[in-house]
Amino acid sequence: MAITVHALRDRLSRALGFLDAPAELQEGESGAGAGVLLLLPLLLVFPLLLSGLFRAALGVGISTGLGLGVIVAGAVLALVFLSGRPKVEDRFLLVQSVLVLAAAMVIVVWALYTPAFEGMVSVGGGDAGNHVSLKRHFIETEPDTYQKFVTFYALTHWLEVFFGLDAFESFRAGFYAIPLLVTLCLLAALAAVSRAGADRGKAPARLAQWLFLAGFGVLGTNILFRVLHYHQADGFYVHLFGLVPTVLCWVLFGLSRTRALRVAMLLFAIVLHRFTYGLNLGDVAAVSAVLTAVEAGGVSHSKRLRWGLIALAVGLGGAAAFAYRTLWQLHPVWGAIIAPEIHAMIRGEAFLTVLLLILPFAARRMGLPLGAEGARLARYAGVFGAINTFIQFLYLRMGFKPEYYLFKYHLHGMVLVFGAALVLISALAAQALVQWGQRKPRASHAVLVPLVALWGIALFNLYAACRPYRDSFHERRFGTPPWRWLQPLVDREGQRRIEATLAREGAAFGGLLAPSWPLMNFMNASLRRTVDADPLLFGWLQYTHGRVRQEPGFCVFWYATDADFAGYAADQAEQGGELADVTQALHNLTGRRCEDYRAGWDEQLALRLCYLCEPARPVNGSETPRP
């Protein structure tokens, strides 16, 4: 007997609603259709991320991982279809959402894309090159690379495969994908929350998006973009990419209509964070434990199911404790980092957390509905912010010295509470403004005053926290040569000349020496075609000791102006090693050739790139094959 689509939908609805009482399902008819539709394009990216997850978890090849990711994405799409096509009363709202997303990305590019550096800069850290080496190591050799925090590596790998990008271009695309995906999730959340005020017409939902865009532009430029700028400029790409699962799982939890789906989203959040970046994995597990316990309290029709969820919450709490215990081993680790004003950052995050936790109650008091979706979004972000803030406060309260990982710890929590507050405040403000425009103000709207005060205090502290990034960010937006704070991550013209030389000589790349640690590490990692035994250590040893492959069949390159040689000497005096000695020895050899050109980031800066190629030794009258 054939099963109709209607019958499949009915069975699926019963299966997904097994944790909900029938009355809850009727009351919980979701207005999240527009939000769901906005998230559907993420299914194009989803298999790319899952390919890395499956390779790391199962040890399969990256192509096999992609195939499994496509199957999972197809299953999710089928699940959405069988659950019923998302209902959208205001189709213009979808079009407007796309326009707002495009405008938001124009703001992002205006704020972060510096043409002189082709969109990617450095402030001196070498982590960017390390991640290029780690990505190759993961794709070609070792699934366990970098503690299996690999979804960013998988994404950039497939961007290179599908679009023919090089390492610089794929990392640039991966970086700008972060604000794109995060903003898409925020707009999906806003579309769902705005639906709660539909009884007042379409105006509040449409106005909310423009209020969101205004806040995104003004507040983003003074807070959010400064944080994104610094983390990119110091090479923290994998940590930065952790924002994607943080915001994605938040919006999926908020938009999930049934309790079973919400619990599944909490578990999915742990898995996705585990294979993206684990610094805040304890926070994610703790949030999942708390919210699973909250969901358990809502199960009224079955004691067995309620106690099952409570047991799951306890297990998740144990997982959080294990994650925190593992993280504790890193607390004394030192690393080069430009720290924010950490106390101001914690205060700002704490005030936003309080705002989010009281917002659903205040909204009901004012008669400005957020809906079930809005309440869940506020609860998830508020709990995440409370846990993340508490861990930082506890660490400092216990008297431990702030070090490298503490200065990175706030990022995911801060961005989540910032984005969630922007979404919910935009929705509430739009409803209030429409009522005022219709001359229907309510005395209860006075509750907005303390809410705005909390919002303002939080933003003031976050703005102060980002002060250490102000000068370099300002130079990124408006600066011109000579550059004071920014450095090139790649010499694009130099790389083209190196690749042309290798092709002309029929040789392999033997290494590049430069007096800039970030540039030398990134370019060597991009041009090498071998997989290093220790990708994290190799780049630094190459930089300090001037390690190159000066042997038959290879070409070695180095920068050779007077300023470069002065830089080599200064680096060797500061770091030790033999970088200056090796470079000078190469420059003294006969047979070297040099090319002069202007730096792409500064037309007044003259560069000289020298190289030495050794012909391959003949074997039986012919040259040896090139590696």
Helix (H) or strand (E) run with residue 531 in it: none
Examine residue 168 and state whether it is found in any structural domain, yes or no: yes
Residue 404 shares a structural domain with residue 500: no
Q: Note the pLDDT tens digit of each residue in 147-178.
A: 999 999 999 999 999 999 999 999 999 999 99
Task: Give the residue from 577, 620, 518, 442 showing the smallest Cα distance to 128.
Answer: 518
C-alpha closest to that of 616 among 562, 569, 551: 551
pLDDT tens readout for residues 309-367: 999 999 999 999 999 999 998 888 888 899 999 999 999 999 999 999 999 999 988 88
Q: What is the pLDDT of residues 408-425, one digit of tens each?
A: 999 999 999 999 999 999
Mean pLDDT of the 363-373 span: 88
On whether residue 294 sits in a domain, the answer given is yes
- End residue of a domain, out of 428, 447, 474: 474
d(CA 61, CA 55): 6
Structure tokens at 210: 């423009």
- Under the banding of pLDDT at 50, 70 and 90, the label for residue 32 is low
Which amino acid, 408? K
| pLDDT at residue 3 is higher than 80 | no
The reply to whether 571 and 605 lie within a common domain is: yes
Residue 149 located in a structural domain: yes
The three-class DSSP label of residue 609 is strand
Give the three-class secondary structure for 600: coil
Q: Are 245 and 348 within one domain?
A: yes
Mean pLDDT, the chain, as a whole number?
Answer: 91
CB 228 within 8 A of CB 163: no
Please say whether the beta carbons of 206 and 93 come within 8 A: yes
The answer on 407 and 317 residing in a single domain is yes
In three-state form (DSSP H/G/I as H, E/B as E, the rest C), the secondary structure along 539-585 is HHHHHHHCCCCCCCCEEEEEECCHHHHHHHHHHHHHHCCCHHHHHHH
| 445 plus 542 within the same structural domain | no
Backbone angles phi, psi at 596, to 5 degrees: -105, 140
* Span 454-459, average pLDDT: 96
Angle between helices 127-140 and 46-58 (to 10 degrees): 70
Helices (DSSP H) in 410-534: which residue ranges? 411-437, 448-465, 470-478, 492-505, 517-527
Show the tokens assigned to 398: 């216990």
Residue range(s) defining the domain that contains residue 301: 29-474
Residues 426, 518, single domain; the answer is: no
Q: Do both 66 and 142 map to the same domain?
A: yes
Whether residue 24 lies inside any domain: the answer is: no
Has residue 1 got a pLDDT over 70? Answer: no
Distance CA 442, CA 365 (A): 10
Asked if residue 257 belongs to a domain, the reply is yes
Give domain status of residue 2, yes or no. Answer: no
Same domain, 238 and 170: yes
Closest CA to 80 of 47, 33, 45: 33
The model carries a pTM of 0.94
- Of 442, 474, 506, which one is at a domain's C-terminal end? 474
- 92/173 same-domain check: yes
Task: Say whether both 431 and 501 belong to one domain.
Answer: no
Is the peptide bond preceding residue 618 cis, with omega within 30 degrees of 0? no
pLDDT in tens, 283-315: 999 999 999 999 999 888 889 999 999 999 999
DSSP conformation letters of 120-182? -EESS--HHHHHHHHHHHHHHT-TTGGGG--HHHHHHHHHHHHH---HHHHHHHHHHHHHHHH
Cα(488)–Cα(519) distance, integer angstroms: 7
Residue 446 lies in a domain: yes
d(CA 380, CA 373) in angstroms, rounded, equals: 11
For the segment 571-584, the average pLDDT, to the nearest whole number, is: 95
**Within this chain, do residues 243 and 153 fall inside the same structural domain, yes or no?**
yes
**12: in domain:** no
Q: How many domains does the chain have?
A: 2
pLDDT tens-place string over residues 87-105: 666 678 888 999 999 999 9
- Boundary (domain end) residue, out of 440, 474, 508: 474
Question: What are the backbone dihedrals phi and psi of residue 389, each rounded to the nearest 5 degrees, phi first?
Answer: -65, -40
pLDDT of 74 higher than 50:
yes
Q: In what order do the strands lie in the sheet with 508-513?
A: 508-513, 554-559, 602-613, 593-599
Same-domain check for residues 69 and 136: yes
CB atoms < 10 A from the CB of 614, how many? 17
